[in-house]
């Protein structure tokens, strides 16, 4: 299945999209927040996320958007404000990057265990130390086991649209989980594209009002949030989280269907998209903006007759187990690109590799699978790097040993 992910297909004449603007990823997210009619925003600056909060405060100051905007004294307070706003039925938004995201980890954990559905943008940034402003995915990945929805996008257009899609999924009564929208630092947060901005009416049509219903914290609805439950109930509560995460897969599918119905055929598949994979033998799979050099390398290799393709994984949580298993089983070899690390883990692979390998274990036709770790701390992953990864991945199909199973790409040695 081949799709181009760049521009919405429907025109502006049908009233679905209102105007075009040159926006970077952060500004596009801010437009999404505005269209989602968010009630409460809390903020604390850290690069590269800072530009999201700056763009939002500008929209409010310019009178284009009305929301409570609170500058917190740290990420921890910021996330707590967002969480509490969400619990009283306000649609709430926050965000951070790298070490800031980690600083608020306690609050991020309870937001998930309390089953509240605010949205946070993570402008992916390397964790301290050593200091680096560039992209790395370990920050967002830190919430992967806590009961969060976690999704990566690759363009400002997708970023805007996934604010709407994200709230839609998170707030669904069958889900009610917090949503982390991950955007690669610099490569997406600060790269500009022409973005088509949906009309308010279309956004409203797609995203219903937030309603926490019976779990709304309100004097008229006296409930307790976050009680001490101990061994009496913790298992059952964890099980509820587990089931919600399972159910989220179906809700995501439904959300894309409706999104496509309103906005034109934007997304061929909900959880991931495939590029030139129809007859491919060798594919790379990654999350985030590595898709750009990945797809370009595919185009160039195809010109030389290589049967290659690229799979861009969008939803990491919930993980699209069945669908991805079916997809990747079609190929001879798969190269997994990790812009993260999992030191000391099985075979010392990256996080994405573990998830994909685990997903493929029950598959009848298991492809050969190799791992690449690269682009850490914001280092560029170039088209030449991608071509090299395709080459190594193609070779893996011919080998029966595990040699070269893991390769650090672009490492100075």
- In this structure, are residues 302 and 283 in contact, taking their beta carbons and an 8 Å threshold? no
User: Quick check: 139 binds ligand TPP (CB under 6 A)?
Assistant: no
Does the footprint of another protein cover residue 58 (CB under 8 A)?
A: yes
75-114 residues near ligand TPP, rule: CB under 6 A: 75, 99-100, 103
Residues 86-125 that bind another protein (CB under 8 A): 99-100, 103
State the number of binding residues for ligand TPP (CB under 6 A). Answer: 6
What count of other Cβ atoms lies within 10 Å of the Cβ of residue 20? Answer: 12
139 interacts with, out of another protein, ligand TPP, none, CB within 5 to 8 A per kind: none
271 is an interface residue for ligand TPP by CB under 6 A:
no
Round to whole Å and give the CA distance between 321 and 332: 19
d(CA 393, CA 404): 10
Distance CA 319, CA 340 (A): 17
CB of 49 to ligand TPP, least distance (A): 9
Is residue 57 part of the contact set for another protein (CB under 8 A)? yes
Is 46 among the residues that bind ligand TPP (CB under 6 A)? yes
366 near another protein, rule: CB under 8 A? no
* 46 in contact with another protein (CB under 8 A): yes
Residue 57 contacts which entry, ligand TPP, another protein, none (Cβ below 5-8 A, type-dependent): another protein
Cβ atoms 44, 78 nearer than 8 A = yes
Using rule CB under 8 A, residue 71 touches another protein = yes
Per rule CB under 6 A, is residue 43 in the interface with ligand TPP? no
Is 364 exposed, middle or buried, given 0-12, 13-18 or 19+ CB atoms closer than 10 A? exposed
167 near 36, Cβ under 8 Å? yes
Which option in another protein, ligand TPP, none does residue 303 bind, with CB closer than 5 to 8 A by kind?
Answer: none
Query: Tokens at residue 393, please?
Result: 């991945």
For the stretch 296-304, contacts whose Cβ atoms lie closer than 8 Å and that sit 24 or more positions apart, written own/partner, are 296/383, 296/386, 297/383, 297/386, 297/387, 297/389, 297/390, 298/390, 300/383, 300/387, 301/387, 301/390, 302/276
Question: 75 vs 184, which CB is nearer to another protein?
Answer: 75
Q: Is 388 in the site for another protein (CB under 8 A)?
A: no
* Alpha-carbon torsion, ordered 117, 118, 123, 129, to 10 deg: -80
Instruction: Give yes or no for residue 66 binding another protein (CB under 8 A).
Output: no
Rank residues 72 and 383 by Cβ distance to ligand TPP and give the closer one.
72
Under the criterion CB under 8 A, does residue 74 sit at the interface with another protein? yes
DSSP states along 233-258: HHHHHHHHHHHHHHHHHHHHHHHHHH
Q: Which lies closer to another protein via its Cβ, residue 2 or residue 74?
A: 74
Give the footprint of ligand TPP on this chain (CB under 6 A): 45-46, 75, 99-100, 103
Residues that bind another protein (CB under 8 A): 44-47, 50, 53-54, 57-58, 61, 71, 73-75, 99-100, 103, 128-129
């Amino acid at each position: 299945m081949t799709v181009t992910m760049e521009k919405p297909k429907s025109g502006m004449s049908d009233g679905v999209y209102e105007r075009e603007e040159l926006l970077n990823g952060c500004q596009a997210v801010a437009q999404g927040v505005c269209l989602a009619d968010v009630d409460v925003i809390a903020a604390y600056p850290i690069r590269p996320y800072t530009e999201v909060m700056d763009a939002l405060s500008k929209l409010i100051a310019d009178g284009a958007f009305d929301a409570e905007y609170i500058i917190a004294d740290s990420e921890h307070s910021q996330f707590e404000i967002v969480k509490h706003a969400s619990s009283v039925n306000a649609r709430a938004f926050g965000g951070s990057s790298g070490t800031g995201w980690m600083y608020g980890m306690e609050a991020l954990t309870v937001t998930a265990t309390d089953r509240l559905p605010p949205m946070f943008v993570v402008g992916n940034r390397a964790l301290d130390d050593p200091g680096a402003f560039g992209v790395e995915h370990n920050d967002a990945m830190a919430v992967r086991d806590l009961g969060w929805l976690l999704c990566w996008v690759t363009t400002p257009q997708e970023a805007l649209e996934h604010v709407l899609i994200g709230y839609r999924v998170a707030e669904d009564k069958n889900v009610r989980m917090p949503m982390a929208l991950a955007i690669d630092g610099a490569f997406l947060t600060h790269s500009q594209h022409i973005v088509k901005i949906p009309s308010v009416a279309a956004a409203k049509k797609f995203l219903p009002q937030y309603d926490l219903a019976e779990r709304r914290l309100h004097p008229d609805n006296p409930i307790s949030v976050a009680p001490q439950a101990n061994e009496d109930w913790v298992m059952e509560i964890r099980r509820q989280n587990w089931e919600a995460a399972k159910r989220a897969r179906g809700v995501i599918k439904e959300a894309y269907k409706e999104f496509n119905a309103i906005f034109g055929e934007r997304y061929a598949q909900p959880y991931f998209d495939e590029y030139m994979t129809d007859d491919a033998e060798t594919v790379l799979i990654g999350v985030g903006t590595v898709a750009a050099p990945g797809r370009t390398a595919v185009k160039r290799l195809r010109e030389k007759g290589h049967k290659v393709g690229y799979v861009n994984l969008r939803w990491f949580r919930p993980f699209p187990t069945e669908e991805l298993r079916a997809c990747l089983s079609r190929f001879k070899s798969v190269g997994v690109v990790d812009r993260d690390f999992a030191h000391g883990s099985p075979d010392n692979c990256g996080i994405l590799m573990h998830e994909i390998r685990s997903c493929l274990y029950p598959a009848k036709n298991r492809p050969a699978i190799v791992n690449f770790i690269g682009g850490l701390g914001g280092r560029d992953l170039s088209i030449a790097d991608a071509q090299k990864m395709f080459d190594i991945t193609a070779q893996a199909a011919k080998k029966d040993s595990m040699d070269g199973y893991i390769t650090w790409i672009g490492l100075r040695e």
